């Protein structure tokens, strides 16, 4: 609990920095991650949903409209669940096809939101073996949707478990891909809070995170 609590506090501290400093980007090195946690359940090493907590805090500070872009290998089912019927937070996720990978029961392309939130949820599942060249069109689609929705504040759930060396994942992104992806995200031109989610290739993790941040 102590670790999960302070992981969420790291996200809120980074949000506070963005809100008060005038900087365009901030990074919170959250551990444990959060995007598989819902309102009343945990999962996938996640206990508190850092992205959802930060999104609500950003709304309370008048920083919206808020969008969340999840680029972890696994679908952010907890984040989707929390905002699925909410028209005020846009959620876009690029992830491994749930037909083959955790969390299995969420993250299919036909999940578009419900009720007032219908249309504010975008899932872009990709097959195992996806490399940087195949990943980029999905990112462009997600960024175009976020821009078209009118987001003025972005939260990025960043997972480095998309790297080719990750022991529990099956994408094939390389280190140089991360700076290019971040450069495309930064080109949206809105304040962006990056939160750490997954990443389990311990020897490569720090360098991959640094490569991603360099793109901002």
User: Would you state the pLDDT for residue 86?
Assistant: 97
Q: Is residue 87 pLDDT above 90, yes or no?
A: yes
How does the average pLDDT of the chain come out, rounded?
A: 97
Catalytic site positions: 36
> How far is Cα of residue 163 from the mean position of the Cα atoms in its chain?
15
Task: Provide the terminal-to-terminal Cα distance of the chain, rounded to the nearest Å.
Answer: 32
| Cα–Cα nearest to 192, from 29, 23, 75 | 23
User: Would you state the pLDDT for residue 99?
Assistant: 96
Q: Do 192 and 146 contact (CB within 8 A), yes or no? A: no
* C-alpha dihedral sign at 32, 12, 105, 145: negative
pTM (global) more than 0.95: yes
Quick: pLDDT tens for 7-39.
999 999 999 999 999 899 999 999 999 999 999
Q: Is residue 64 pLDDT above 90, yes or no?
A: no
Residue with tokens 């950003």: 58
């Amino acid at each position: 609990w102590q670790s999960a609590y302070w992981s969420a506090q790291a996200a809120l501290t980074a949000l506070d920095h963005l809100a008060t400093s005038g900087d365009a980007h901030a990074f919170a090195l959250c551990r444990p991650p959060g995007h598989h946690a819902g309102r009343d359940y945990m999962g996938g090493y996640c206990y508190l949903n850092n992205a959802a907590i930060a999104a609500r805090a950003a709304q309370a500070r008048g920083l919206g409209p808020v969008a969340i872009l999840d680029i972890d290998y696994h679908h952010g089912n907890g984040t989707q669940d929390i905002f699925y019927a909410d028209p005020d937070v846009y959620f876009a996720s690029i992830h491994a096809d749930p037909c083959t990978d955790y969390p299995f029961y969420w993250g299919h392309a036909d999940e578009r939101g419900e009720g007032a939130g219908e249309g504010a949820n975008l899932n872009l599942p990709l097959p195992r073996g996806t490399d940087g060249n195949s990943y980029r069109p999905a990112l462009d689609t997600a960024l175009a949707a976020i821009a078209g929705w009118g987001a003025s504040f972005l939260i990025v759930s960043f997972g480095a478990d998309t790297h080719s060396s990750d022991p529990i994942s099956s994408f094939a992104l390389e280190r140089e891909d991360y700076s290019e992806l971040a450069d495309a995200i930064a080109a949206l031109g809105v304040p962006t809070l990056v939160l750490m989610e997954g990443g389990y290739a311990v020897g490569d993790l720090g360098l991959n995170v640094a490569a991603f941040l360099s793109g901002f």
